[in-house]
């Protein structure tokens, strides 16, 4: 509960108000610390020492109210109550005091008793506020303890806990191992005497480790969407010939690097190549199946087949790898389960690939079948209903243009991470003759900079930032200018995050880590002006 020893910050650059308050509180035992200039006040983070602020504005009203707004943004509600003293009646009706979060507003400093009553009241409210927060935390902690207890008495929960523990150990391994390669070889690259071929090999090792780390994170994102029941399916026309060629060309170098023969076979006729399905889910199944096939095959071949059997379309991946026994096949669909769970397992990965494929197959109204023999190989087949798609199917994605170049651009970069800002600056400098950039580390700065200068050609907007996130900043900027391209560039990688970014006004979306070619391709779409024929 509040006491007269509660520290209070009193600010006033108004001599009359300062004299009145000092006289009224002369005989009180409050720890009152005074400030007469905004520049002399503690940093906002340091204001947590105080339990209340007495704030008497002067004619420098706009700057002082802006300061109060920043204080209340950092200390909302009763985290730090503010009593606004205004004996000179400076605050007009058009100022939204409630919007500022002010707890009390007084224009007449009549008596010490009235002022002390107001102070005691706000301190009591603050104490009650923190007391209630503490009680809620305590109640939440008790509820969590009860839930844990209920889980422990369930055999199913115990098994789930075992699998989760194994998964956490595995994910620690899968994150730390590539990070060890990345950080380790980066240290060697700092050697100025490193020879050319060795340097190229180290860079290649870093790239391989980075791709492994990114694949691990992507698997986690996909399985989290599956667990949350948040898989979204977008059916459209798919050209199966283009799909097969794209997959084959993508994985051929990886197979050849391991000494494996990769082949693609298709029995589809010319009028059967169009399918109504979800291309991203089909590609996802192929990616996981081929990743597994290459991982678990040390010699021999991998075959990709696309066939139409009656009313079904069948996609197959066959390898000559280590294979599985019947028990392994029964367990492999479970999340986080691998054939080898012990510490001496030979193969990396989280054991999520076939679980993800199985979930995707259900989304496509299909089914997944596995036929495997230990030490002989594995055949995985995805069967989906054959529904003819339109002939004007979109082409499979290609690598973005690498020769993109801009003559003169003005870009607002918004990101709270200085390293990301440096990377964006490097990308832009390499592709621009004359570049002007302005950097903002949060949404508040981004909005203010845009209000001051709206002549930017494009905005690169991070989504997760302090004070004001990218979603909020985009909405405000979009109200000021509905035309300027705003490209979200963010580590948020869920499907709903992309949809939310587009819904709030972003023109396009790039997920981190940024792909250089895709980055240039995306900017080219919005910065290159069409030429008249």
Q: Is the pTM of this model over 0.85?
A: no
pLDDT of 339 over the 50 cut? no
Residue 341, pLDDT score: 46
pLDDT of 513 over the 70 cut? yes
Going by pLDDT thresholds of 50, 70 and 90, the confidence category of residue 331 is low
Residue 414, pLDDT score: 94
Q: If you average pLDDT over residues 215-221, what whole number do you get?
A: 71
Within the chain, all domains assigned CATH 1.10.287.130 are found at 155-227
- The CATH H-level superfamily of 7-128 is Response regulator (3.40.50.2300)
CA-nearest of 227, 231, 230, 211 to 163 is 227
pLDDT in tens, 220-273: 776 676 666 667 778 889 999 999 998 898 889 889 989 999 999 999 998 889
Residue 474, pLDDT score: 95
Could you tell me the CA-to-CA distances from 493 to 234, 271, 443, 498 in Å, in that order? 17, 37, 20, 7
Residue 174, pLDDT score: 66
Sheet holding 52-56, edge to edge: 31-35, 7-12, 52-56, 82-85, 104-106
pLDDT, the chain, mean? 82
pLDDT of 419 over the 70 cut? yes
pLDDT of 485 over the 70 cut? yes
Residue 28, pLDDT score: 78
Within the chain, all domains assigned CATH 3.30.565.10 are found at 236-385
pLDDT of 391 over the 70 cut? no
pLDDT of 363 over the 70 cut? yes
DSSP 388: B
pLDDT of 294 over the 80 cut? yes
The dihedral built from the CA positions of residue 18, 24, 27 and 31, taken in this order, carries a sign that is: negative
Q: What percent of the chain has pLDDT over 90?
A: 29
pLDDT of 89 over the 90 cut? no
Residue 307, pLDDT score: 93
Residue 77, pLDDT score: 84
Coil/strand/helix, residue 234: coil
The dihedral built from the CA positions of residue 379, 384, 390 and 396, taken in this order, carries a sign that is: negative
Written in H, E and C, the secondary structure of 255-285 is: HHHCCCEEEEEECCCHHHCEEEECHHHHHHH
**Any residues with CB less than 8 A from the CB of 298 and at least 6 apart, and which?**
258, 321, 322
Pairing of strands 52-56, 7-12: parallel
Of the two residues 90 and 339, the one the predictor is more confident about is 90
Residue 230, pLDDT score: 65
Q: If you average pLDDT over residues 367-377, what whole number do you get?
A: 89
Written in H, E and C, the secondary structure of 186-232 is: HHHHCCCCCCHHHHHHHHHHHHHHHHHHHHHHHHHHHHHHHHCCCCC
pLDDT of 450 over the 90 cut? yes
Residue 157, pLDDT score: 65
Residue 261, pLDDT score: 95
| Plot region of 404 (φ>0 → left; ψ -120 to 50 → alpha; else → beta) | beta
Provide the CATH number for the domain formed by 155-227 in this structure: 1.10.287.130
Within the chain, all domains assigned CATH 3.40.50.2300 are found at 7-128, 406-527
pLDDT in tens, 176-187: 777 887 888 888
Residue 475, pLDDT score: 95
- Decide if domain 406-527 falls under CATH 3.30.70.1380: no
Q: If you average pLDDT over residues 59-82, what whole number do you get?
A: 88
Q: If you average pLDDT over residues 508-531, what whole number do you get?
A: 81
Distance between CA atoms of 176 and 344, rounded to whole angstroms?
Answer: 16
Residue 184, pLDDT score: 82
Distance between CA atoms of 533 and 526, rounded to whole angstroms?
Answer: 19
**Any residues with CB less than 8 A from the CB of 47 and at least 6 apart, and which?**
9, 53, 71, 74, 75, 80
pLDDT of 344 over the 50 cut? no
> 501, 464 in Cβ contact below 8 A?
no
CA-nearest of 105, 64, 102, 108 to 81 is 102
pLDDT of 533 over the 50 cut? no
Structure tokens at 29: 């035992």
The residues facing 458 across adjacent strands are 411
Which of 3-17, 53-67, 257-271, 503-517 bottoms out in mean pLDDT, i.e. has the lowest?
3-17
Distance between CA atoms of 507 and 491, rounded to whole angstroms?
Answer: 17
CA-nearest of 175, 182, 244 to 207 is 182
The CATH class given to the 236-385 domain equals alpha beta
pLDDT of 316 over the 60 cut? yes
DSSP 531: P
CA-nearest of 201, 178, 134, 138 to 350 is 178
Where helices occur in 101-195 by DSSP H, the ranges are 112-152, 155-189
Across the chain, how many H-helices and E-strands are there?
Answer: 15, 17
Q: If you average pLDDT over residues 62-88, what whole number do you get?
A: 88
Distance between CA atoms of 523 and 428, rounded to whole angstroms?
Answer: 10
The residues facing 509 across adjacent strands are 488
């Amino acid at each position: 509960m509040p006491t007269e020893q509660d520290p209070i910050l009193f600010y006033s650059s108004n001599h009359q108000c300062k004299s009145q308050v000092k006289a009224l509180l002369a005989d009180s035992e409050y720890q009152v610390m005074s400030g007469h200039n905004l520049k002399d006040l503690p940093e906002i983070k340091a204001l947590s020492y105080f339990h209340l602020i007495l704030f008497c504005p002067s004619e420098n009203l706009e700057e002082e109210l802006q300061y109060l707004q920043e204080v209340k943004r950092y200390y909302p509600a009763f985290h730090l109550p503010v009593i606004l003293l205004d004996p000179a009646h400076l605050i007009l009706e058009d100022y939204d005091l409630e919007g500022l979060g002010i707890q009390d507003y007084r224009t007449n400093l009549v008596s010490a008793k009235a002022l002390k009553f107001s102070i005691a009241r706000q301190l009591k409210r603050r104490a009650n506020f923190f007391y209630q927060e503490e009680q809620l935390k305590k109640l939440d902690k008790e509820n969590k303890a009860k839930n844990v207890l209920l889980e422990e008495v369930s055999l199913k929960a115990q098994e789930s806990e075992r699998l989760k523990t194994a998964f956490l150990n595995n994910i620690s391994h899968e994150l730390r191992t590539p990070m060890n390669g990345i950080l380790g070889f980066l240290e060697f690259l700092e050697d100025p005497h490193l020879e050319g071929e060795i340097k190229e090999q180290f860079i290649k090792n870093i790239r391989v480790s980075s791709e492994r780390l990114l694949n691990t994170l992507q698997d986690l994102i996909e399985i989290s969407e599956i667990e949350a029941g948040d898989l979204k399916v977008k059916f459209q026309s798919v050209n199966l010939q283009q799909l097969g060629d794209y997959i084959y060309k993508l994985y051929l170098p990886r197979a050849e690097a391991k000494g494996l023969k990769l082949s693609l076979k298709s029995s589809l006729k010319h009028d059967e190549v169009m399918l109504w399905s979800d291309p991203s889910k089909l590609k996802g199944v192929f990616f996981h199946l081929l990743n597994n096939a290459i991982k678990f095959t040390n010699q021999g071949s991998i075959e990709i087949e696309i066939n139409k059997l009656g009313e079904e379309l069948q996609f197959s991946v066959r390898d000559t790898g280590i294979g599985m026994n019947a028990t392994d096949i029964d367990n492999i669909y479970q999340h986080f389960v691998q054939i080898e769970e012990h510490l001496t397992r030979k193969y990396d990965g989280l054991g999520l690939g076939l679980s993800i494929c199985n979930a995707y197959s259900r989304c496509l109204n299909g089914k997944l079948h596995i036929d495997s023999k230990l030490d002989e190989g594995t055949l995985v087949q995805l069967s989906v209903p054959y529904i003819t798609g339109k002939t004007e199917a979109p082409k499979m994605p290609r690598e973005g243009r690498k020769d993109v170049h801009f003559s003169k651009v003005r870009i607002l970069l918004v990101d709270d991470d200085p390293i990301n800002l440096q990377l964006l600056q490097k990308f832009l400098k390499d592709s621009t003759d004359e570049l002007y950039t302005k950097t903002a580390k949060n949404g508040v700065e981004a909005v203010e900079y845009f209000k001051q200068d709206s002549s930017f050609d494009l905005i690169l907007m991070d989504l997760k930032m302090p004070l004001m996130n990218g979603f909020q900043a985009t909405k405000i900027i979009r109200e000021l200018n509905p035309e300027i391209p705003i490209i979200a560039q963010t580590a948020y990688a869920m499907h709903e995050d992309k949809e939310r970014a587009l819904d709030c006004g972003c023109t396009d979306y790039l997920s981190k880590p940024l792909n250089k070619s895709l980055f240039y391709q995306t900017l080219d779409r919005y910065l290159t002006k069409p030429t008249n024929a």
